Structure 1
Amino acid sequence: MNRDTLQFYSLYLTRFAGGFGFITLVTLLGKYINVLDPSAVTVLGVTLGAGFVIGMFTTGFTLAQTAAVVPLAWAGDRFDKRNVLLGTLLLGAVAYGLFPLVDSSLSFILARALQGVAVTGASLMSLALVGELAEAGTRANRIGKANAASFAASILGSISAGLLYDALGFSPIFSIIVALLSVATVGVWFFLDPDETTIRGFPFSDLALNRRILTIATFRTQYAVAVTLVRTWVPIYAGVAAASGGLAYGGLAVSVTVVAEKFTNMLFQPTMGRYSDEYGRAAFVFVGGGCYGLVALCVPFSPVIGTALGLPGALPILGPLSPAFLPLVGLSGLLGVADSLREPASMALFADEGTEDGGVAASFGIRDLLWRPGSVAAPLLGGYLMADVGMEWVFYVGGLFALTGVLTFLAVLVRDFGTRALAEW
């Protein structure tokens, strides 16, 4: 095995460890809501409803990510991406080690914020290094493989989270995450070469005016709302009590709904990335985003579909469920297929522009920043919709944001680059 292969594998291991930790918290979010029982609080005379507190369980994470993007991306381009990656991996180990100590909504939100900084740094640096090390003709495929490693961890993480929580509670899960991050840190230390592509100045300023980045920004800012709502609320919908609009499934059943999306995404991303390298980026972004929106609109109809098809209300191992379970798993899998079209093409586009203009970490940082407004606002919107309007409206709103995102992207693409741009980008 040559040195380049070892470098890619060390980065794939980093993506695996990060994905394992991230999905664990997503899978257990409904359980934390049940255990911590968020309620309205009054701050400086202003009453914040339970829906706001529930939203902050995710928004605390994304606000910290937003604050961390620019300084971490700048440090990666200005100094050594390898060292920044090592630092954020160690920070992640500390953050996950704190979760067993959580005993209130506030302490959970603070731990999530620290996790957000660590996840942002590890994700930015690992993707920037993959994009930098890969040749242009293999970039989307390499990114697809890196993402596949993350999704493989997501599958194992969500299954083990459900099983371990049902059997032992929270603490053992986080011990595993800390161990994985420690192994990833050792792998990066020994196998990844120091990064010598130092960029002086502030590459964000030039890349922020890049025409292709501005064009895809019209899609990404809206799509962030869609994905944040749908990815966050599928496990919540599956796990919370029926009184809150959920299906009240056990931990393992919730894990299966999450795994379905991760498995199909993992399975198809390297292939779709290779096709994107061969045929261009824009069409994959457009088709993948549109399909995601259409599938999201169908999620609330899982009970109706299950009843109409006469599907069973119980399954071996999983026990009593409802006829909605199998349709929900199937729709979650289709969400993964749709996003496998979009994600490697989108990431490769940002890597292409960053590599050409100088500042690949800044390019991925801009990609991350474009995601932040939607990912910060969406959980608060979702918490409001869940608590005051109805669970189904979380998915209706998410689906509509995906559809308006792809239509806006197409309109701007055609206006600025011509009618053939969807096929030629």
Structure 2
Amino acid sequence: MTQETRQLYALYLARFASSFGLITLLTLLPTYIDLFDPSGVVIGLFTTGLTLAQAIAVIPLAWAGDRYDKRSVLLGSLGIGVLAYGAFAVVSSSTGFILTRGLQGIAATGMGLMSLALVGELAPSGRRANIIGMANSWRFAAAILGTLSAGILYQLFGFTAVFSVLVVVVSLAFVTVWLFVEPDTTNVQGFAFTDLAVNRRILTITSFRAQYAIAVTLVRTWIPIYAGVSAMKGGLAYSTAVVSVVIVAEKFTNMLSQPYMGRLSDRFGRSLFVFIGGSLYGLVALAVPFTPAFGTALSLPSSIPLLGALSPAFVPLVVLNGFLGIADSFREPASMALFADEGTANGGVASSFGIRSIVWRPGSIIAPIIGGLLMTTVGIEWVFYAGALTAFTGVGLFVGILGYTHGRTALTKW
């Protein structure tokens, strides 16, 4: 195994650890909602506490990564992650949960941003989307294992066991990065955000990403909520273990598809795959509220071996969430490779991914508040309608700007 390969695998493990923590908390979110019984706004803050901290942290972390050593920033972020997941074991109120989610947000931002920037630097341009897709596959493998372990460990042993496992996983990633990833020597003087913020290609892709953030945050957050909360709140009232199965469907299909879709986008062009992925995501999100009707119309079983009595909506919900994973596998490696291309070409890959993260933050911050209000006023199905709408408007704006600035054939050439 070459030194470059060892570094990549260490970085894959860091992405694994970051995703493992995020998905564990997402899986347990319905449990915390039922435990603390918060208002609609506070339900939104359960996610916004994370995303607001990520928005605040991204610029200083990206600047430090380009200016100094990305490896050191990554190690520091992993250390904060160990502290955050240890703190979750003793949280006993909505306020404490929101504050600890903020600490988790800082750690997750550093882990995700620095590991991705280092992968982008190590990957050759002709295979960049493919290698990024492989890194993302590790992230989705962690999401699968994190989802299943969270549901099983919580039901058997409670919160302490769940967060003990998280502390061990993040600590292992810290040691592996420390041992195998070389110090970063691509230091950038000045503030790389200045030039990259007005980069033509980055501006084009961010026209889509800003709106798409609302769609993904709403749909990805509310599918487990829809599956797990009580029927009185508009949900299906499935157990934590069943919610885990629903979440795993999206992660599994995404994990399998990302390297292959990344390879295809390397070959046929990135923007086409962004367009296809965004459009499919909106279509599938629109169908989620109809899963009970689909299950009833198809006479699907209302009980599943090992999972027990459920409802006819279970199988359609799992299938649709799997389709969401396939849709996102078209978009994500292609989009990430576009940012990596511009960052490496202009001497600021961490800042390039920082801009990518910043553009995502406004939508990811306001979306949970919108979702919480929609859920408690007009009904949980409107969360998914809003997610579909913002996916379609994001795709429409992207295609319009792309055609105007790059010509009619831009979807197949850019």
Q: TM-score range by the shorter chain?
A: over 0.9
Counterparts of 1:72-111 in structure 2, within 5 Å, are 72-111=61-100
1:31 equivalent to 2:10? Answer: no
Identity of aligned residues (%): 64
The aligned counterpart of 1:411 is 400
Paired with 1:391 and 1:71, the residues of 2 have a C-alpha distance of 36
Q: Does 1:280 align with 2:262?
A: no
Give the secondary-structure state (helix, strand or coil) at the position aligned to 1:54: helix
Letter in 2 for 1:7: Q
Correspondence 1:206-221 to 2 at 5 A: 206-221=195-210
Q: Distance in 2 between matches of 1:91 and 1:222?
A: 30
Instruction: Give the match for residue 46 of structure 1.
Output: none
Please name the residue that 1:151 is paired with: 140
Moved over 3 A (4+): none
Q: Does 1:396 align with 2:409?
A: no
Q: After superposition, what is the alpha-carbon deviation per residue over 1:251-276, rounded to whole angstroms, capped at 9, x for unaligned?
A: 11100110000000000000001111
Structure 1 residue corresponding to 2:295, chosen from 298, 303, 306: 306
Matches within 5 A, 1:237-386: 237-386=226-375
Work out the number of aligned pairs and report it: 414
SS at 2:408's partner residue?
coil
Alpha-carbon displacement from aligned partner over 1:287-310 (angstroms, at most 9, x marks no partner): 000000000000000000000011
d(CA) in 2 for partners of 1:308 and 1:173? 38
Classify the secondary structure of the residue corresponding to 1:225.
Answer: helix
Tell me the equivalent position of 1:163.
Answer: 152
- TM-score, normalised with respect to structure 2: 1.00
Shift of 1:280: 1.1
Aligned counterparts of 2:344 and 2:274: Cα–Cα separation in 1: 20
Structure 1: gaps (5+ residues): 39-49
Separation in 1 of the partners of 2:139 and 2:206? Answer: 24
* 3-state SS, counterpart of residue 237 of structure 2: coil
State the distance in 1 between where 2:378 and 2:387 align: 14
1:166 Cα shift? 1.4
Q: Which residue of 1 aligns with 2:112?
A: 123
State the Cα distance separating 1:349 from its structure 2 match: 0.2
Partner of 1:5: 5
Instruction: Give the residue type in structure 2 aligned to 1:186.
Output: V
Shift, 1:37, TM fit: 1.4
Q: Distance in 1 between matches of 2:20 and 2:49?
A: 20
Which blocks of at least 5 consecutive residues in structure 2 are unaligned?
A: none
Distance in structure 2 (CA, Å) of the matches to 1:312 and 1:167: 27
Deviation at 1:157, TM superposition (A): 0.5
CA distance in 1, matches of 2:288, 2:314: 11
